[in-house]
Chain A
Amino acid sequence: MTAYLLKRLLIGAATLVVASVVVFLMLEVVPGDPARVMLGMNASEAQVELLRDQMGLNQPLIVRYLDWARGLLSLDFGKSYTYSVPVIDLIRERIVVSFPLAVIALALSTLIAIPVGLFAAARRGRAGDTAAMAVAQIGVAMPNFWFALLLVYVFAVWLRLVPAGGFPGWGAGAWPALKALILPAVALALPQAAILARVTRAALVEVLGEDYIRTARAKGMPMRAVMWRHALRNAMIPVLTIMGLQFAFLLAGTIIIENVFYLPGLGRLVFQAITQRDLIVVESVVMLLVAAVVTVNLLVDLSYALVDPRLRTRQ
């Protein structure tokens, strides 16, 4: 078990290193000079050169990478080119929007998907199953930004239950802030829930064909108890895997959704930074998202061992 844990940690760390190299190099090859962007179109060649020197852009690639990587480790991400404030401050300001949004969306999609999957699997082949899976199919096919607009139209414009966009800040109280996150979270969660429900159903249907389900039935347990006590936990491995993989899509989705709902989150920060060639912000936020995905997948790997005792003894 310790060996398993260590191995997973090492793989996670290695992934981060590789990702940092890729992110760094990718932004190196993107056209556009940050110094020129900062100084505007009318700046002279000499001024640009001077700023490039100041920003350290003229140093060799490897030196700049190492500088940047060292900064990342000590949470010193450098200064934003456009805002001239430390990147860490920008991130701190934005993460209080994006992190709750991601957590709510993930929780929501799990809370919807697993009961729907159980429901459909228990009625497999019957009308309830067909209907649930048809709805899920629509959810899979629907792009989340379009669904977001639909939600805004129905709940904000028409029913006027929640704001259509913007974020009042946590200072305005928990409820108004949460209210502003509800629609974006639903828009993110439902397409994910649709996929997860289908995976849950498929995993359960497969498990229900196993011999140990028959053994449990032969003990005299009703189908419902067998589902919860025997089938669900065995079906969790594929469900957890998909949840881990989906988390990356969830983060990518926040970039779009935050723009649709005008939320001051990390997604919108990175989007703006890209258009403004604020490379240092892009690099930092992308690395943060990579770290989040790696952490979530590490947790998924550990949860396998919690779910399945066979993985605890094997290495």
Chain B
Amino acid sequence: MSLLEIEKLSMKIGSLSLLKDIDLSIAPGEVLGLVGESGSGKSMTALAVMRLTPAHAQMKGRISFNGIDILGATEPQMCALRGDDIGMVFQEPMTALNPVKTIGEQVAEGIRWHTRASRREAEERARKILDRVGLPEQKFALSRYPHELSGGQRQRVAIAIACALKPKLLIADEPTTALDVVLQAQILDLLKELVDENRMSLLFISHDLAVVTEMADRITILRQGTVVESGDTARTLSEATHPYTRQLALASTHVPARVRPHVEEAGADNLLDVANVTRDYPGTRRSLFSRPEPVRAVDNVSLTMKPGASVALVGRSGCGKSTLARMILALDTPTSGAIKFRGLDIAGRSEAELRRPRRNMQVVFQDPYGSFDPRHTVERLVAEPLHLLERRPDRKERRDMVARALHEVGLGRSDMEKYPHEFSGGQRQRLSIARAIITRPKLVVADEPVSALDVSIRAQILDLFAELNQKLGVAYLFITHDLTVARAITDDVLVMHEGRIVERGKTSDVLSQPSTEAAQALVSAAPDLHRAIARRLQEQG
């Protein structure tokens, strides 16, 4: 008999249909992976089980959990279930914890609420579960606040909250999407262990097929609010009989066809020369009178890039890769060392002096939602870098340049009058690329440019990057913790760890045979769909 049974669940908000006839079931102790692209209804399905859906959502169908009719239950009945029999872990560890309460309070709170335990007892149990999720009290006192912990540690606290009362069902909604690959692997292992130990069922939601394959016994694939296919994980994904399943599987392992741009390799001058760059930040003051110890974010880094090159800068979160990128873009000044772009030293220059280099280097950010002013038209947004040009184009020239940039990224001239909210996430990332290439830069720095995108969109954007590299001869510096991106689109790779570049070389060599510990950790933690399917099939015999 299944623990959770969803039958013909439909959900509407106003006239917008979010879910349509969802069927899904989880047996006790089973791990079900719920896969789909953004907007496919994965999270809404999970929230429906918790009955934490938006206030105006109308639901039809049946959800039965452990014999209880969820949609018919009263609010007090639901409160009794939530946190006790059903625990939930959310995607964003940085915001999932209350910033003004200690981690001990936050874990103990649910225990006290459900068991009526005394403060002391609840704290004792909180201590135990925090210890179990890898936050022993000696190092992580219960009196710590969330801001004193890293993202991975906060996700451990969130897991402790969800698992404190050993729920029958744990729901994990993209629990590792915001973490780097090494942390992801650790958190996934922790979830697996907890599920085994407590014989919990797990509803594991992810957009990442490789991660789901590692975790789930069975998968259910959602698309636009309906179930496309559901079945045994390894079989479903290896046979990929359904066209959408096949499309997803192909997209998540997509490697763009690349033609190297024509660049005279040996003779060409370096596009970028970074020599012995170090960046210190002031540390936190220990007492009023002692000088704070500086924190070294980037430590004696040197690198060069040729025109038209495509280089990946990979490393775990907090390793200093974004700081390095900011210095290369002259948005931050090195504490020591020199950065030369096309022969010109850019460190410590005035904005006026930086106009020419800025024209030749542009940036694409991770979040296609946050990087546009929602009140500006596309024409204005994409034309933004044009003020860097020697001669201001007139209105007609400007429109022509915007139109050409839009055309190059696969959008049309008519998109010029629109506003950012009229575009999907993938289209918005195209807009940021259009904005980056409008001044014909020689270097584009892309900071996690595809990690916020769905797999199929991501494949398209990678194709676009590859095409522009060839067509415009623009060099790329990709900053990422995702090795599949590095593999797909770069020739050389730099592995960064604790502020230093610890390994460098041809991407294919370094990623197939990493020699340093830091690189090995990244490579072995990186989820890989083919490997995961093979392992599962082998286990099943």
Binding site for B on A (CB under 8 A): 2-3, 6, 210-212, 214-222, 225, 229-230, 233-234, 307-310, 313, 315
Contacts and interface: CB of A to CB of B under 8 A. Distances in A.
Which of B98, B109, B145, B158 is the most central at the interface, judged by chain A CB atoms within 10 Å of its CB? B98
Nearest to A314: B284
Contacts of B147: 309-310, 313
B285 A217 contact: no
26 contacts: A2-B288, A3-B285, A214-B96, A215-B90, A215-B96, A215-B97, A215-B158, A216-B98, A218-B52, A218-B82, A218-B88, A219-B83, A219-B109, A220-B79, A220-B81, A220-B82, A220-B83, A220-B110, A221-B83, A221-B109, A222-B76, A307-B100, A309-B99, A309-B100, A309-B147, A310-B99
B96 A212 contact: yes
A38 B288 CA distance: 54
Contacts of B97: 212, 215
A215 B89 CA distance: 8
Contact of B284 (A210, A211, A313): A313
A233 to B, nearest CB: 5
A269 B161 CA distance: 59
Interface string B35-68: 0000000000000001010000000000000000
Contacts of B95: 210-212
B308 to A, nearest CB: 42
B98 A212 contact: yes
A17 B476 CA distance: 57
| 7 A-B pairs closest in CB distance | A220-B83, A219-B110, A219-B83, A220-B82, A211-B95, A212-B98, A218-B88
B284 A308 contact: no
Given A211-B96, A307-B100, A219 B113 contact: yes
Nearest to B52: A217
Given A2-B288, A218-B52, A221-B79, A234 B99 contact: yes
A307 B98 CA distance: 12
Contacts of A234: 98-100
Nearest to A212: B98
Contacts of A3: 285, 288
A307 B79 CA distance: 28
Contacts of B454: none
B345 interface: no
A215 B98 contact: yes
B75 A218 contact: no
A100 B499 CA distance: 59
Contacts of A6: 288
B80 interface: yes
Nearest to B100: A233
Contacts of A2: 288
A234 B162 CA distance: 22
B114 interface: yes
B492 interface: no
Contact of A211 (B82, B90, B113): B90
Nearest to A236: B100
B84 A220 contact: yes
Interface in B89-114: 90, 92, 95-101, 109-110, 113-114
Given A212-B96, A214-B90, A221-B79, 7 more contacts: A211-B90, A218-B88, A220-B79, A220-B82, A222-B79, A233-B100, A315-B285
Contacts of A220: 79-84, 110, 113-114
Contacts of B145: 309-310
